Structures are given as structure tokens and as C-alpha cells.
Amino acid sequence: MRGSGGGAATPAWRSRVALAAAGVLGLAAFCWPLVVPAAGTGAFTERAPFVLALVLPVVLALVLVELASGAIDVKALAMLGVLTAIDAVLRPLSAGTTGIDLIFFLVILGARVFGAGFGFIMGVLVMLTSALLTGGVGPWLPYQALCCAYVGLVAGVLPARVRGAGEIAMLCGWGVVSAVLYGALMDFAFWPYNVGAGTGLSWDADAGLAHNLHTFVLFELATGMGWNVGRAVTNTVAIIVVGPGVLRVLRRADRRALFETVDAEPDGPAAGAPRGSSSGARASCAGSHRWCRGRHRRSGGTGPPPQPPSMASSPRANSSSGDQP
């Protein structure tokens, strides 16, 4: 699935199915406290490797499906590596103090241009690679990777027609909402296991679903909103300050690196045209990749498309139209 950067506008059904499956499996990893009784911190630690074992195959399968369907091509895959590396370096610089974390805004911007599948994969890879740099590997890592993947997933399906100031406002709004949801999901993953029993904010296995959800909301407001607000402010400021420039750069890279094969005409000059004439050169140019058309469109010209460099230096292309056949 490609975003608003100029690639394929309609995702293949395989990409949709893969993204839906990844989203459902990820939510199942967070929602098991609703059906599994709390058993202490040890249960959370023991189950985390199983969540990681679930995440990695899903991401690998999603990459293969996106590549096979054309939703992510080699160019987008290269941009995925570049953005992941930059974001992984930004995480140690922010260190997450009081919720200040610089990794989410770049996931949002990358998913906005390259699509939901790109954003989901980037979210997982950013968390995994940055954890290796910061020493943040632990039972919480699979949950962090899934949460960050959801941030990119939703950013990639936001309305593509919105541009300009409206687009920045929309991305800022998702930056605020995603900051709160990220903190809530992360807290919900460990809340039943880490909060002691018998308190007003504890998980009660004998109580109903509504009672436990109400208790969790109180717990989140009391312990997590300070971090969520800091994360939301960071996302908003980063998107406002650097968002327009980053979006322009990513979209320009997406357009300039796009190659499209054009149906080739038979080799040699067109029928009825003298050998070496300009029409023969244009016929040869039409059989090349998008170099001729792309350069012509960007230059704003209305005449015939220019010749590639190899044609300009060809003796045949420089010969006069009066040569003998």
C-alpha cells in the first residue's frame, strides 16, 4: 500500500489481508489480560518472548507480501532502511525523558508518503534496532514494537487528498492521539501483572470486564498521562517544525526514483523515415525507461522528449536527414 507520495494508489488485496492479520494478531497480544487471570510479574516476563516470536514472522510475511504485490518496491525498501537508521539514532538522543521521544514523528511522516505497510514495518524495525543501541531489550520490547507499528499503520491510511496546512494539522492530530494510545496500550500490557492486589487500581480477576476497564482508566490517568502529554507535545512540535520539509524530500525522492517501462518500438528508424532522422531517435528513446519522459515533464517542455545521453553522442543521431539508406 502506497501513501500520498505518488506511487500506486490502490493496495492489492494481499496487502490488505496481511495488514489486517498483523493488526488483529497484535491486538490479541495486548488484550489477553481480559481473558487470562493475572499471575504476577513473572507471567508478563515469561509471555513476552512468545509475543516477540509472533511479531517477527508477521513482519517478515508482511514484507514479502508488500514486495510481491508491488506496494513496496526496491526503492521504497531502500528508503525504509534509511529512515529506520535515522530514527534509531534519534531515540538515544531523546531518551524518553518525561515522555519526550523523537522516533514517532518520523514514522508518521514516512508512512504518510509510502503507505500503511511501510509504516507498520518501519515501526517494528525502529523499535527493535533502537533497543539494541540503547540497551532497551527486555520483555516490554515486543509490545513497544507493536505499538509503534500501529502508529505507522494508521498514519498510512489517513486521507491522501489533504495537503498543505491541512495535512500538517491532520498529522499533528494523529501525533497527539497516537501518543495517548501508545502509552495506554503499553500500560495495559503490564498493568494486571505489576500492580499489587487489593488496591483501588488493581486488576480483579473475579470482577467483570467493565469494572476492570474502569479501573484501568483511573490507573492510566493517575500514572501515565504525564508521559503521554510529553510524547504528544513532542510529536506536534516535531511535525510542525520539520514535517513540511521532510514530506517534500520524501515525495521528491519517491518521484525521481520511479522507473516505468515504456513499450519499445522496433529498432532502427520508423517506417518511411530516413536513417538517422530525429523521428528514429525519438522511436529509440520511446523504448527506454522513464528517463526521457521524466526529464521532459520536469523541464515543462512541449516538444518531443529529449534523447538520453547515449543518443546525444551517437554518430547516427547526429547525421543529417539526407544520408543515403
Q: What is the mean pLDDT of each run of 10 residues along the chain (325 residues)?
A: 47 73 79 62 62 73 74 81 92 73 94 91 92 83 90 93 94 96 88 74 77 88 89 95 95 68 49 47 42 42 49 43 43
Contact (CB, 8 A) for 188 and 33: yes
The Cα–Cα gap between 72 and 2 comes to 7
pLDDT score, position 204: 76
pLDDT score, position 48: 63
Domains of the chain, residue spans: 13-242, 259-320
pLDDT score, position 287: 41
Give the pTM.
0.71
pLDDT score, position 151: 95
CA torsion sign, 104 to 167 to 117 to 180?
A: positive
Task: Map grid coordinates 531502500 to a residue.
Answer: 78
The Cα–Cα gap between 244 and 165 comes to 9
As given in the structure block, the three cell numbers for residue 152 are: 505507522
